[in-house]
Structure 1
Amino acid sequence: MKTHFIAIGGSAMHNLAIALKDKGYEVSGSDDAIFEPSKSRLEKKEILPQELGWFPEKITSDIDAIILGMHAHEDNPELAKAKELGLKIYSYPEFLYEQAKNKTRVVIAGSHGKTTITSMILHVLNFHQKDVDYMVGAQLEGFDCMVKLTEDNDFMVLEGDEYLSSPIDLRSKFLLYQPNIALMSGIAWDHINVFKTFDDYIEQFRKFVASITPGGILVYNEEDAEVVKVVENAENYFRKIPYKTPEYELSNGKVYLKTEMGDIPLSVFGSHNLLNLEGARNICHHLGIMDEDFYDAIMSFKGASKRLEKIEREDNGTLYKDFAHAPSKVKAAVKAFCEQFKNEKKYGFLELHTYSSLNPVFLEQYDHAMDGLDEAIVFYSEDALKIKRMEPISPDLIKEKFKNENLKVFTSAQELHAYWDLLDKTKGSYMMMSSGNFGGLDLMK
């Protein structure tokens, strides 16, 4: 099969391209910007475009599938040529469904926790040498690629994202998967640039539940009121299995899960991760993994990349990096960090740089998000606001919305870096929350 990727350099797109190359497909692609690690990984597989840009001449009538990434625009010249030739154009999730339509599809959805839960499931299955197809949004220890596609595997585990499928397909990605087994971890308003109201956002999850195949299974977080409402109001037929935070204790800096088989030591911390773990255990049960085998495997799970990920510094300072930027994720990460390091001075840094997080209306969602930290720092770039053509935001407004008078607010990378350089990283514990890089801050210094 001959495939061409429009915007091949994306985090998800390049992994799918590699998976198809490994499956034996003929793969080509284009992009106007490709960064590491995508560039090196594509080059290793010999599918890195020879030059950057869009080239309509690459689009020929013998291509079986065009896969269109979100990074491309609706007026992309390669897309126009594909339409002119009448080629089959797929969004990323649409193509994944085509690969999985004859398999049992397991879809993990939710505003927060979905990457970690999917990672936990894959870690357990890999530990017990249970082979499945998958797509996950983070690099995992022991896995070469974030996407795996085969002809033979019976199951496919998919991280289900509620964001849009492509520039020409405005459906939420997870609506295309039609799960046989699904999980919903939580609902907290996100992607305000697309879903203008909270109800519009919740509607995507109502549609997701409605897309579960008849007689399927939904594992859901019964501690989340919005999730419970969506599940209780669903009109289609499926089996409902609730889960909640299991019992655990923190002893000498180590988390122990309380089970019928005794106390299980874990390598992750935070009540939100214990809740994620319980969701993963329920899903694994339906994939044929007994509880004893689940606990045996989960002890060695160290977390997904950039999810409370410990950074090994040369000075042995305690530093964690987290992808958290949406309010619910920030609150969960801060709570876990404060619980884990309650006897140490705690520094928490948050970068606001997405359209949602820089929207004054959406900033209301961050109220008390940084509470519990001894030093709470928020950084956003005034230059980034100009580039995004957004109105200026004052540091006082940030403090007001966060409801934290002691908040330190930096609006220039230079000032933030100067503050960082003055801190003794061998004293206290540090957490850096961002899907960006704090204006190029070197976390190793």
Structure 2
Amino acid sequence: MSQKNQKIYIIAIGGAVMSSLAVALKKKGMTVLGSDDKIYDPAASLLKTNDLLPTDMGWDANRIDDSIDAIIVGMHAKADNPELLKAQALGIKIWSYPEFIRAQSDNKQRIVIAGSHGKTTITGTIIHVLNYWKKDFDYVVGAKIHGIEETIKLSNAPVIVIEGDEYFTSPLDLEPKFLKYDHHIALISGTEWDHINVYPTEESYLSQFEKLADRTPKAGTLVYCEEDKQAKKIGSIDRDDVRKEPYETPKYKVKDGVFILNGDTPVKLIGKHNMQNIEGARLILKRIGITDEQFYKAIASFEGAFKRNNLLSESDDCSVYTDFAHAPSKLAATVAALKELHPKRKLVACYELHTFSSLNKEFLSKYKNTYKAPEEAIVYFDQNLIKEKNYAPISEEDIKTSFSRKDIQVFTDPTALADHIQNKDWKDRDLLFMSSGNFGGLDLNAIAEKITN
């Protein structure tokens, strides 16, 4: 599938990863077409810039014919997608995204970074350091990384670093993506029950990481965070001729608002969890020939992933951050990081319940004691989204009880939330927005500028 002149059709081309894959394949000389029912930025702009944006939105079986060499189907498509059904009827080769990446990686050393949290940062760290030292490698990362133009690179390089997602492979294959790559080296950063629409029990979710560990081949390496209870349990099992590499948070200090590693190496990431992520990346890089001296020289310039600990605006006594945090452990880690950064300031934190899991009333108890760090804790959610998902209603009392914090302020109206924030005194206070959504369409940049000016 690496030859030029292949004609590839991507169903659900508008996803963040699928759009990046489309661009990577075009650069390899393939003819790339695709479809989707809706495409938003930044994927829409990326596809348009590369002349890959579909002319018409929606699915049309008439676009599929025997001139197509292969179909790649994204997980946004459904099993009854008319284009997918037509491809099946014509006998066209159909790839899931991870299966296609694996087929492109036959002769490479394959490194998979997995975990419920931290995997994007760890993968991004590895990519940054290898780029810094001008190493020849390929990669797949699930989010935009500062300093890295593309999220996918496919070439004839001898190594590929893959961010391994535990979500299902495709509408036709409910096995996790990370099991498709046949890794030689794998890392498990941590485990926390998520994706309850796919894994209805905690046990069914955690078992996927155990399967990943069990598939480590002889002479392979399994790196895992021993500070995570389940990752340690999975990683510490003896497997025939598999090298075990546990890691934990390295020693660090915070001086004048800067996190410092290795005694005197300032880094741009913040928080204990990110120091832990950096350590995981260091171990992986050591396995492929990067010395500690090289690592610490390169890591000082790594800015992390977009939407993670993102500084929107600041003044002498107030900073406003956003973060992609969308699960209990990510919430706890992110608020703790801001408190470490500015321990003398009070922290006002706003968290949006947005994912399938977080909006499920039965899942809310997983947030117990995760929101203790900020002086003022706010939760926002969209009641209409709960209705759309046919979930049980969530009350203000449900949230206070689940988070074990009676003084949490709950908002369901974005305008009311904005008014509450903008009318506060922000002297010696920081503001943190956390969500995988958009707080009902609020202009967070405008709010940040207003309260810091």
Q: TM-score range by the shorter chain?
A: over 0.9
Going from structure 1 to structure 2, the CA distance change for 1:20 and 1:50 (only over 3 Å counts) comes to same
Instruction: Show CA shifts across 1:201-234 (max 9, x none).
Output: 1110011112222211111111112112112335
Q: 1:436 deviation in Å?
A: 0.4
Alignment partner of 1:74 out of 75, 79, 98: 79
Q: 1:266 deviation in Å?
A: 1.3
**Distance in 1 separating the partners of 2:247 and 2:430:** 32
Instruction: Show CA shifts across 1:45-86 (max 9, x none).
Output: 111101101111111112122111111111100001000001
**Distance in 2 separating the partners of 1:316 and 1:60:** 62
1:219–1:240 contact (8 Å) kept in structure 2: yes
**Distance in 2 separating the partners of 1:10 and 1:236:** 39
Corresponding residue for 1:279? Answer: 280
Corresponding residue for 1:117? Answer: 122
**Distance in 2 separating the partners of 1:299 and 1:425:** 31
- SS in structure 2 at match of 1:29: strand
**Distance in 1 separating the partners of 2:119 and 2:368:** 23
**Distance in 1 separating the partners of 2:67 and 2:289:** 42
Aligned amino acid, residue 19 of structure 1:
A
Corresponding residue for 1:11? Answer: 16
Corresponding residue for 2:42? Answer: 37
Aligned amino acid, residue 12 of structure 1:
V
Q: 1:317 deviation in Å?
A: 4.6
Corresponding residue for 2:220? Answer: 216
Corresponding residue for 1:396? Answer: 397
**TM-score, normalised relative to structure 2:** 0.95
Larger displacement relative to structure 2 (33-42 or 419-428): 419-428
1:347–1:375 contact (8 Å) kept in structure 2: yes
Going from structure 1 to structure 2, the CA distance change for 1:58 and 1:331 (only over 3 Å counts) comes to same
Instruction: Show CA shifts across 1:314-354 (max 9, x none).
Output: 99951111111111111111111122121001111100011
Aligned amino acid, residue 88 of structure 2:
K
Corresponding residue for 1:179? Answer: 183
For residues 244-259 of structure 1, the aligned pairs below 5 Å read 244-257=248-261, 259=262
- SS in structure 2 at match of 1:310: strand
1:334–1:369 contact (8 Å) kept in structure 2: no
**Distance in 2 separating the partners of 1:155 and 1:95:** 16
1:382–1:412 contact (8 Å) kept in structure 2: no
- SS in structure 2 at match of 1:215: coil
Aligned amino acid, residue 299 of structure 2:
I
Q: 1:268 deviation in Å?
A: 1.3
Instruction: Give the count of matched residue pairs.
Output: 441
- SS in structure 1 at match of 2:400: helix
Corresponding residue for 1:65? Answer: 70
Q: 1:418 deviation in Å?
A: 2.2
Alignment partner of 1:237 out of 241, 246, 256: 241
- SS in structure 2 at match of 1:444: helix
Corresponding residue for 1:320? Answer: 321
Aligned amino acid, residue 433 of structure 1:
M
Alignment partner of 2:209 out of 163, 182, 205: 205
Q: 1:131 deviation in Å?
A: 2.5
Q: 1:88 deviation in Å?
A: 1.1
Percent identity of paired positions between Structure 1 and Structure 2: 48
2:187–2:222 contact (8 Å) kept in structure 1: yes
Alignment partner of 1:188 out of 187, 192, 198: 192
2:361–2:392 contact (8 Å) kept in structure 1: no
2:317–2:429 contact (8 Å) kept in structure 1: no
2:66–2:92 contact (8 Å) kept in structure 1: yes
- SS in structure 1 at match of 2:163: strand
Aligned amino acid, residue 96 of structure 2:
S
Corresponding residue for 2:383? Answer: 382
For residues 14-29 of structure 1, the aligned pairs below 5 Å read 14-29=19-34
Going from structure 1 to structure 2, the CA distance change for 1:55 and 1:121 (only over 3 Å counts) comes to same
Unaligned runs of 5+ in 2: 1-5, 447-453
**Distance in 2 separating the partners of 1:46 and 1:124:** 31
Aligned amino acid, residue 364 of structure 1:
S
Corresponding residue for 1:144? Answer: 149
1:303–1:309 contact (8 Å) kept in structure 2: no
1:92 and 2:97 equivalent?
Answer: yes
Aligned amino acid, residue 282 of structure 2:
R
Corresponding residue for 1:421? Answer: 422
**Distance in 2 separating the partners of 1:315 and 1:444:** 18
Q: 1:368 deviation in Å?
A: 1.4
Unaligned runs of 5+ in 1: none
Going from structure 1 to structure 2, the CA distance change for 1:265 and 1:361 (only over 3 Å counts) comes to same
**Distance in 2 separating the partners of 1:165 and 1:280:** 25
**Distance in 2 separating the partners of 1:128 and 1:352:** 40
Instruction: Show CA shifts across 1:281-328 (max 9, x none).
Output: 011111211100100010111221111121246999511111111111
2:223–2:235 contact (8 Å) kept in structure 1: no
- SS in structure 2 at match of 1:100: coil
Aligned CA-pair RMSD: 1.5
**TM-score, normalised relative to structure 1:** 0.96
**Distance in 1 separating the partners of 2:232 and 2:305:** 27
